């Protein structure tokens, strides 16, 4: 029962955070809101019986991909820097962030505080990391190999696209 209630609350938080993310003028604010949306989705994953995927969602999406976004935004200096926006964010900017963050923290604490052995707290069916790993590395072993190839291709592609003109000319002279 409490899990069902939490699902709707987290769904509302995810929708609200995503809606705030897509209307921001400043991409940095958008990324911050999107991180909140990703946390809410990770808690929903946990409620749906996917604890490992929930952890990976936080680690990979919020920890790696969003930080990459922030890195590129700050490297390119694409944030609007007019004289009006230099002032510190006021309550209008702070209120939604704080509201969403506090809701997420409260829901996380409730989820931690629930007795894990009680039938209400954890979902009745859930894939333990052991089941997940067996299935991943036995039935889907080929997919893991293909994915590793694809990640290395992506690394090579990103390296090639990111090369500067001078470096490219140097490489062409050598060859």
Partner 1 sequence: MIVPMEHLLILATLLFVLGLGCVMVRRNLIMILIGVEIMINSVGLVLVGASAFWQQVDGQIMVLILMAITAAEVAIGLALVVYLHQQKKSIDVGIFDEMRG
Q: Which of residues 98-157 bind partner 1 (CB under 8 A)?
A: 123, 125, 127, 131-132, 135-136, 139-140, 143, 147, 150-151, 153-155, 157
Q: Does 89 bind partner 1 (CB under 8 A)?
A: no
- Residue closer to partner 1 (CB basis): 87 or 164: 164
- Residue closer to partner 1 (CB basis): 9 or 88: 9
Instruction: State the DSSP string of 20-55.
Output: HHHT-SSHHHHHHHHHHHHHHHHHHHHHTT-HHHHH
Least distance in angstroms from the C-beta of 25 to partner 1:
9
* Alpha carbons 23 and 29: distance in angstroms, whole number: 10
Local structure of residue 166 (DSSP, 8 states): H
* Alpha carbons 36 and 142: distance in angstroms, whole number: 34
Q: Does 81 bind partner 1 (CB under 8 A)?
A: no
Least distance in angstroms from the C-beta of 106 to partner 1:
19
């Amino acid at each position: 029962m409490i899990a069902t209630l939490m699902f709707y609350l987290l769904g509302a938080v995810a929708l609200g955070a995503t809606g705030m993310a897509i209307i921001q003028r400043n991409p940095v604010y958008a990324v911050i809101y999107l991180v909140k949306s990703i946390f809410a989705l990770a808690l929903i994953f946990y409620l749906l019986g996917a604890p490992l995927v929930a952890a990976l969602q936080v680690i990979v999406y919020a920890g790696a991909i969003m930080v990459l976004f922030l890195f590129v935004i700050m490297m390119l200096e694409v944030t609007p820097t007019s004289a009006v926006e230099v002032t510190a964010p006021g309550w209008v900017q702070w209120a939604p962030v704080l509201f969403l963050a506090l809701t997420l923290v409260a829901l996380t604490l409730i989820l931690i505080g629930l007795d894990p052995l009680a039938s209400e707290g954890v979902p009745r069916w859930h894939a333990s990391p052991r089941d997940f790993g067996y299935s991943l590395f036995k039935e889907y072993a080929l997919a893991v190999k293909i994915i590793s190839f694809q990640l290395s291709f992506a690394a090579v592609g990103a390296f090639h696209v990111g090369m500067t003109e001078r470096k490219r000319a140097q490489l062409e002279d050598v060859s």
